[in-house]
Chain A
Amino acid sequence: MTTTAMTTAASGIPVRPATRANWESPAEYNYEHFRTKHLLLDARRTVETSGVLPGDPAPDFTLPRSAGGGNLRLSDLRGKPVVLHFGSFT
């Protein structure tokens, strides 16, 4: 895990302490087995409000689109509201 990832978001915006405390290393993040600790971690993240608080700037990022659709940069969508949803295939 890089120090940058711990202290700043992809955009350089500081990550909130509640999020930093629950940050997982690449090996922890890509676990091989779903365990009770992952349920508990989610509960902790909910209670500690891990993430970006309302009113704060949404950390910017550039990520690839599926099916070779090129990159999308979040800040390019300014001017209209955005629903940003995270999900897993499994």
Chain B
Amino acid sequence: MHALWGDRVHFVDVMVRQAHPGPAVPPYATIEQKLADAEAYRREAGITWPVLADDLDGTVHQTYGGLTDPAYLIDADGRVAYYNMWAYSPVLHQAIEALLAQGGRGVVLGEGIDRTPHLLPAMADGWPGIRRGLSQSYVDMETSLPGSATALWLTHQLRPLLAPVALRATPLPPAVQAGILLGVSLLVGAQIARLQHARATGDASPGPRRPGHRVDRWQAG
């Protein structure tokens, strides 16, 4: 994203609370700890733009809605152009494109908001965070929503496979989108055709054929 737009758009990251605290990563007690993590995060992610630390009460984070991983696109006049409640790069990418096309000012892409909980990118990227909190973060997450931490681990293992969709900066090319749509349509269409065929031939059950079913009918006729 930054590589694509960095010369025309400012990027700013704000470090919030420990979302999944653990013994090694307890809730922040001082702003120095928060700043140190902001720097560690900056280095680890190879970020070249400013990473800021919010105050301990989360004043700025909460003013901007308090969600776990939100992103805003702010226009050149300091007004919100787009609110991506669960940050997903391809969505932001489209918003930036639209904003620059209209001179860097105004609300973009309809009402300027995306409420879709984009969980796939969060899952593909979330495991290192949980791992930092050792077992507590894992157990807490499993308790809050059974299976969620394990799913996070699994997604992390599948990361190379999911990356083309989950971690991409730009929307999928139209040809790929059309391909996926066509594939799904064909599957659904085939299923409908199969059901209709089953109904037409009097076989109400589209499931596994029951042995002897047709023989019984022939005998009865």
Contacts and interface: CB of A to CB of B under 8 A. Distances in A.
A29 B81 CA distance: 28
A15 B36 CA distance: 29
A74 B78 contact: yes
A34 B140 contact: yes
Contacts of A61: 59-60, 63
Interface stretch (B112-120, B155-163, B188-196, B200-208): B112-120
Interface string B23-60: 00111100100011111111000000011111111111
A8 B17 CA distance: 21
A71 B82 CA distance: 25
B145 interface: yes
B104 A81 contact: yes
A89 B137 contact: no
B166 interface: no
A53 B64 CA distance: 9
Contacts of B96: 81, 83
A45 B28 CA distance: 23
Contacts, number: 263
Interface residues of A, number: 60
A89 B129 contact: yes
Interface string A37-69: 011001001110111111111111101111101
Tier of interface size on chain B: 35 or more
A58 B12 contact: no
Contacts of A82: 9-12, 72-74
A88 B13 contact: no
Contact of A29 (B10, B58, B73): B58
A35 B52 contact: no
Contacts of B77: 78
Contacts of A84: 12, 14, 64, 71-74
A39 B57 CA distance: 19
A15 B56 CA distance: 18
A12 to B, nearest CB: 11
Given A23-B66, A55-B79, 19 more contacts: A1-B57, A10-B59, A19-B66, A24-B58, A26-B58, A32-B21, A34-B144, A45-B67, A46-B67, A55-B112, A60-B78, A61-B63, A63-B14, A64-B31, A66-B53, A83-B92, A85-B12, A85-B72, A87-B14
Interface of A: 1, 5, 9-10, 15, 19, 22-24, 26, 29-36, 38-39, 42, 45-47, 49-61, 63-67, 69, 72, 74-75, 77-90
9 contacts: A47-B115, A58-B80, A65-B51, A66-B51, A81-B81, A84-B14, A86-B70, A87-B14, A88-B68
